[in-house]
């Protein structure tokens, strides 16, 4: 049924019985100050919630087909690519990275395994060489720097979130075992078969559909967000300040960043497509008769590879093969078996296997406020309906 809020700039469609989700999403605008956003959910293979509202950019309302940068939500997409290669026998999670990428063995990295990379245990959370924002669009340079760089720590003993480097590491592996870039592999093997509006490297023709990101509450400059002791730590600075990920003039709003295959953070998608992707994965890898992965491969992807308290941002984390797993914070809603990946500033994308649900919340106002509850309230309402 069509939905249009009487109190908020929200429209879309909800299946009968899911009206409470739409009402909660509308409250994101009337109570929680959202600017532009979309929320979608797939239940047992059917799109049951498809909502959008607010402004995609100044003077441009959010539309049904608005695309949005999803930052680390991209990691959940490359997880499907890695698992596809594992399923085909082209990639072994327990093999050294250097088996596929010989140059990577430099400076003591011969013992780093593929599973270390996909579970944020590779010991390369940042790049030590000073970078400019433009360097993020040059994956060949990023790969060369990572191949030459020594480990920050033993991969068997040190776990630390790799916000951006993980994408270049995975991209290097995909290209060396398959021949295609990460973005092309994702487009041809996953997005195409599933009919997704989701991209790792956006075609220029789609640029007018992309929402413009803005910095909201709690999104402070690097020098203000972190104290002098943190900023002086070379590993911390290499992760979060080289270059600062979220400066006032966001490069993530530029065509150069949208076109680049920034596999750790540069994906662009609609909430509808992200919900469909996870709707397939929550059902064991298939939807509408299209099998992307076998059920046992999805189970492998959800099997815990690492669980840790990040030493730099003091956040509990857990990972399978690329996918983030549920933690006590309940980031992925109330479901205990939830998995997926969040994105910087508030987006969230994932699946609930027991309930066979895929969901996604995308937005253009980034928040660094721990009290940002925009997605949490909506997911709570959704869970109450499907459980």
Find out whether the peptide bond into 19 is cis, omega within 30 degrees of 0. Answer: no
Contacting residues for 80 by C-beta, under 8 A, at least 6 apart: 186, 190, 277, 281, 292, 293, 301, 322
Q: Which residues are the active-site residues?
A: 72
Both structure tokens of 145 = 């720097």
Comparing C-alpha atoms, which of 261, 237, 254, 252 is closest to residue 343?
A: 252
Q: How many residues does the chain have?
A: 387
CB 227 within 8 A of CB 240: no
Distance CA 50, CA 270 (A): 10
The CA-to-CA distance between both ends of the chain, in Å, stands at 22
Cβ burial of 257 (10 Å; 0-12, 13-18, 19+) is: buried
Distance CA 331, CA 42 (A): 18
Strand segments, DSSP code E, in 251-335 are 267-269, 286-287, 290-291, 306-309, 316-319, 324-325
Cβ burial of 370 (10 Å; 0-12, 13-18, 19+) is: exposed
By DSSP bridging, strand 365-366 and strand 214-215 are parallel
Helix (H/G/I), strand (E/B), else coil: 63: coil
CB 348 within 8 A of CB 361: yes
Paired strand residues for 301: none
- Which value, in Å, is the radius of gyration of the alpha carbons in the chain? 20
Which residue reads 């490069």 in tokens? 251
């Amino acid at each position: 049924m069509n939905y249009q809020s009487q109190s908020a700039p929200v429209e879309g469609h909800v299946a009968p019985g899911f009206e409470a989700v739409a009402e909660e999403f509308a409250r994101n605008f009337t109570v929680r100050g959202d600017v532009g956003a979309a929320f979608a959910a797939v239940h047992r293979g059917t799109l049951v919630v498809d909502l959008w509202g607010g402004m995609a950019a100044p003077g441009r309302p959010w539309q049904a087909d608005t695309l949005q940068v999803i930052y680390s939500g991209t990691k959940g997409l490359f997880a499907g690519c890695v698992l596809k290669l594992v399923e085909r026998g082209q990639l072994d999670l327990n093999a050294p990275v250097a088996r596929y990428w010989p140059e990577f063995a430099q400076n003591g990295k011969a013992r780093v395994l593929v599973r270390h990379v996909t579970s944020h245990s590779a010991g390369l959370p940042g790049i030590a060489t000073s970078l400019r924002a433009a360097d993020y669009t040059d994956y060949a340079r990023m790969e060369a720097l990572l191949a030459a760089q020594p480990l920050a720590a033993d991969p068997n003993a040190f776990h630390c979130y790799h916000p951006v480097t993980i994408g270049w590491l995975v991209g290097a592996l995909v290209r060396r075992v398959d021949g295609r870039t990460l973005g092309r592999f994702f487009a041809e093997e996953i997005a195409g078969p599933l009919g997704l509006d989701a991209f790792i490297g956006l075609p220029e023709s789609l640029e007018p559909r992309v929402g413009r990101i803005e910095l909201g509450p709690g999104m402070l400059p690097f020098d203000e967000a972190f104290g002098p002791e943190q900023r002086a730590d070379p590993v911390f600075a290499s992760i979060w300040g080289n270059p600062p990920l979220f400066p006032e003039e966001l490069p993530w709003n530029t065509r150069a960043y949208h076109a680049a295959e920034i596999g750790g953070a540069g994906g662009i998608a609609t909430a509808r497509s992200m919900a469909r992707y996870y709707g397939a994965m929550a059902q064991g890898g298939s939807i509408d008769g299209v099998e992307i992965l076998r059920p046992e491969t999805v189970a492998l992807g959800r099997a815990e590879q690492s669980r840790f308290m990040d030493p730099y941002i003091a956040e509990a984390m857990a990972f399978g093969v690329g996918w983030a797993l549920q933690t006590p914070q309940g980031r992925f809603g109330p479901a205990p078996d939830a998995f997926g990946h969040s994105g910087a500033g508030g987006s969230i994308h994932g699946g609930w296997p027991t309930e066979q649900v895929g969901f996604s919340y995308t937005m253009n106002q980034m928040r660094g406020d721990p009290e940002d509850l925009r997605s949490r309230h909506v997911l709570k309402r959704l869970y109450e309906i499907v459980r």
